[in-house]
Amino acid sequence: MKKFLALAMAGSMAFSLAACGGNSASSSSAAGATSSATAEEAAASEITGIAQVCDVGTIDDESFNQGCWEAVQAFGEANGIAVEYYLPSDDNDEERQTLIRNAINDGANTVVCVGYLYGPALAWASEEYPDVNFIGVDMTAADIGTETIPGNVYCITYKEEQAGYLAGYAAVKDGFTELGFLGGMAVPAVIRYGYGFVQGADAAAQEMGANIHINYWYGGAFSGDANITAKMESWYSGGTQVVFACGGGIYTSAVEAAVKYDGKVIGVDVDQNYIGEQDVESGKYSYNPFVTSAMKGLNEGVTDALDHVMNGTWSNIAGTNGVYGLQEGDYVGLPTAEGSWNFSTFTVEEYEAVKEQIRSGEIVVDDSSDDTVKPTVSENTTVDYQV
């Protein structure tokens, strides 16, 4: 497995992207970092190194792994701390334990675990390495398998259902009546995105007195492939106008099919509009298919946790679950920058109004992540759940 080590530099730097990752190497130090210190010897508020152990997929997935990594990388650059990421070669608990072990052996005493699949590995690691600070993204005590969160772990979860709701609502308000949801895998965060999307689309359909149809399917992967692309082509050729592609690099299949059939795509986790803009410029795509993105504040959540470690206030959050949504701040939503707002009729003002209704509690979005219990919809909406 290839390896990448980001050497942090002092001062404020812009985000940069990495192209490969790894699971073993000696740790190098940046200006101000102490590479000779081990995790066990470091004081609780001293970060000797930060490691990100990644979810399945790639580091440059333009989504979940990358969004977290950019936060880790920027924090290291700003604070003179060595950072490194590790990609799994296999999708199992033993491999995830190995990545955590290697990261700590390489000098990290703060480990960001990306994805709920790290739960069992984190249950082991939190006991094996009591002096290491663990940050679990998209993870709860239930994922770890404990009644309470271990005392050296901080869990971060998001109200993805709110972001999904806003995306679905906006799409229907903008005139789309044939929609699709392409999920990577039926994991809690993806399910919340999808169920929120259905709820938001249905709410807009009721307001407008319109009838809408939603294709709903999990591709079984966090990357695109020929089979997923073929499925998306069948949707677009059959009349689907816009697809919410939710699951790391799976968006590539939706985009490929959308461009072929003049369709649209809704991105996820981060503002993915730039992907379409870059490829239009390169000639790969004939136009930018992204209409918007349902985002969650990966950068803000991870950075907030790292700040607590750096500032010596880790004990204030360790052993707890931070939940980030509109009630807590602008941690979920759609991008409103002029270059990323690609709706035809739905306005930023209308968006802000419905967002505030969610924030105030006037609109309550069901946050269920039980794949066996589908969201209730009105007679205006038909959802075709596909297997």
Domain residue limits, the chain: 4-158, 160-295+332-385
pLDDT at 108: 97
Question: What is the per-residue pLDDT for 45?
Answer: 56
Non-local (6+) Cβ contacts of 382 within 8 A are 211, 212, 213, 214
Average pLDDT in the 43-66 region? Answer: 85
**Of 38 and 64, the one with more pLDDT:** 64
Helices (H), the chain: 64-79, 93-105, 119-128, 141-144, 160-173, 188-208, 226-237, 251-260, 273-282, 298-310, 348-360
Fill in the DSSP letter of residue 188.
H
Are domains 4-158 and 160-295+332-385 of this chain identical in fold?
yes
253-266 average pLDDT score: 98
Query: What's the confidence (pLDDT) of residue 27?
Result: 30
Among residues 55, 53, 63, the alpha carbon closest in space to that of 134 is found at: 53
pLDDT in tens, 335-369: 999 999 999 999 999 999 999 999 999 999 999 99
Q: In whole angstroms, give the CA distance from residue 143 to residue 249.
A: 23
* CATH assignment, 160-295+332-385: 3.40.50.2300
Cα–Cα distance measured from residue 155 to residue 138, given in angstroms and rounded to the nearest whole number: 7
What is the per-residue pLDDT for 12? Answer: 30
Yes or no: say if 206 and 172 are a contact pair by the CB < 8 Å rule: no
Question: Is domain 4-158 in CATH 3.20.20.70, yes or no?
Answer: no
pLDDT tier for residue 62 given thresholds of 50, 70 and 90: confident
Among 18-27, 122-131, 163-172, which stretch is predicted with the lowest mean pLDDT?
18-27
- Residue-level pLDDT at 58: 87
Place of tokens 């308000």: 173
**pLDDT tens digits, one per residue of 82-117:** 999 999 999 999 999 999 999 999 999 999 999 999
Average pLDDT on 115-143 reads: 96
pLDDT band at 1 (very low <50, low <70, confident <90, very high): very low
Angle at 187 (CA atoms; ends 136, 374), nearest 5 degrees: 135
